[in-house]
Amino acid sequence: MSDGIGHSSGRHMTEDAFDAGTLARLRDELEVRIETRGSGGEVHRTIIWVVVDAADRVLIRSYRGSSARWYREVLATGTAALISGTETIPVRVEPATDPQRVGTCSEELERKYADDPATPAMIRDGVLATTLELRPR
């Protein structure tokens, strides 16, 4: 894919990557809110965990698996927003179905939330398929 000025690749800083400040904030935040919209336009906010891997990919996963409302809503719309403190970060959502991103998400969850008793539930087989990568919109 060409960007029109001689560069080619899938990821462009302006299109597909979060800025360094946002990545640092998401690496440090233990909990953020994800804002989704229902089919009728109603807004929902849910607390979730977020991790950033060594490749600067922002990854999330549903604790409740595919039955979680926020998860169903982001799959239906492909968009959401993360709320971190007073900052709202609009995002596009992509299912992370490949073993590499799923595994990396689990590793980062184990590292970041090592002392949290809920961590084993976030890396169990039943929720691995709900791993999502977030990209700026």
60 phi/psi in degrees, rounded to 5: -135, 165
Q: What is the pLDDT of residue 50?
A: 98
pLDDT per residue over 106-128, tens digit each? 999 999 999 999 999 999 999 99
pLDDT at 45 over 50: yes
Span 54-76, average pLDDT: 97
Q: Domains of the chain, with CATH numbers? A: 13-136 (2.30.110.10)
Task: Quote the distance between the C-alpha of residue 73 and its chain's center.
Answer: 14
Q: Are 93 and 79 in contact (CB under 8 A)?
A: yes
Say whether 67 sits in a helix, a strand or coil.
helix
Q: What is the pLDDT of residue 13?
A: 39
Q: What is the pLDDT of residue 16?
A: 82
**Separation of alpha carbons 38 and 41, rounded Å:** 5
55 phi/psi in degrees, rounded to 5: -90, 15
Burial class of residue 82 in the structure, from the number of CB atoms within 10 Å of its CB (0-12 exposed, 13-18 middle, 19+ buried): buried
pLDDT at 11 over 80: no
Amino acid at 79: T
What is the pTM assigned to this prediction? 0.88
Span 54-81, average pLDDT: 97
